[in-house]
Amino acid sequence: MTDSPAHNRSDLDEAQRLLDGAIAHVLQHGYQDVSLRAMAEQLGTSHRMLIYYFGSADGFWQALLARLRRTQIDKLAQKSLQKQMPSIEEVWADLTSPPRLPLFRLMFQIYGKALGEPDRHQVFLRQVVGQWLESLTQSLIAQHELPPAQARAQARLRLAVMRGLLLDLLTTGDLKGTTQALRLFARSVDLDKNR
């Protein structure tokens, strides 16, 4: 997962098509093995072509997560503009649906690898939190008219709890217990109720 200058070829249509195919594969079949060769075979290409487009195996997985993050952040921004933010419980139900969990398993695998070599993966680690934090902050300001500092603290808390409970769920398989904890958290941070 080396952080390197943007790889121009990763923006090409074919590279983006390969990312879309990888996301669709993970959603449909899950993905336990973070192996570039295995994914390339599923996509009908070679691992060399993926390296050509993304610079390295780590670059491919980072690009996949970045594409997912961008898609979700764009959806959140659109809902925020329309003042139609989903509730915390609705977000949780979406994130924990069986087709989505393999993506989070993959995210935590890549995240863990990056944490093992933080100096090498500074850009990835900054983005994996920072982009979500910024998007959630802006959404909370738009939806609830919070002061920026309060919105940022709320965004960080929500992001941390959601990721922590997802990690708990993936570790234990306890959907009932994690959902119960999420509901308790949602009640404690209900901004409309606490005004």
Q: Is residue 94 part of a domain?
A: yes
d(C-alpha 12, C-alpha 23), whole Å: 17
Range of lowest pLDDT (2-16, 45-59, 103-117, 135-149): 2-16
Conformational region of residue 83, where left means phi above 0, alpha means psi within -120 to 50, and beta covers everything else: left
Q: Is residue 195 part of a domain?
A: no
Interval 95-125: pLDDT, tens? 899 888 888 888 888 888 889 888 887 888 8
**Is residue 77 over pLDDT 80?**
no
Residue 146: give the domain boundaries: 8-188
Confidence check: pLDDT of 70 > 60: yes
Average pLDDT for residues 166-185, to the nearest whole number? Answer: 97
The tally of domains found in the chain comes to: 1
Task: Supply the pLDDT for residue 120.
Answer: 81
Domain contains 146: yes
CATH number, domain of 136, equals: 1.10.357.10
The pLDDT of residue 30 is: 65
Q: What does the pLDDT read at residue 44?
A: 93
1 assigned to some structural domain: no
**pTM to 2 decimals?**
0.75
Residue 61 CA to residue 1 CA, distance in Å, equals: 8
Determine the pLDDT at residue 85: 72
| 139 found inside a domain | yes
**Residue 2: inside a domain:** no
**Per-residue confidence band for 1, with pLDDT thresholds at 50, 70 and 90:** very low
| Per-residue confidence (pLDDT) for residue 2, from 0 to 100 | 47
Q: Is 3 inside any structural domain?
A: no
In a domain, 30, yes or no: yes
More confident position, 84 or 145: 145
pLDDT reading at 155 higher than 90: yes
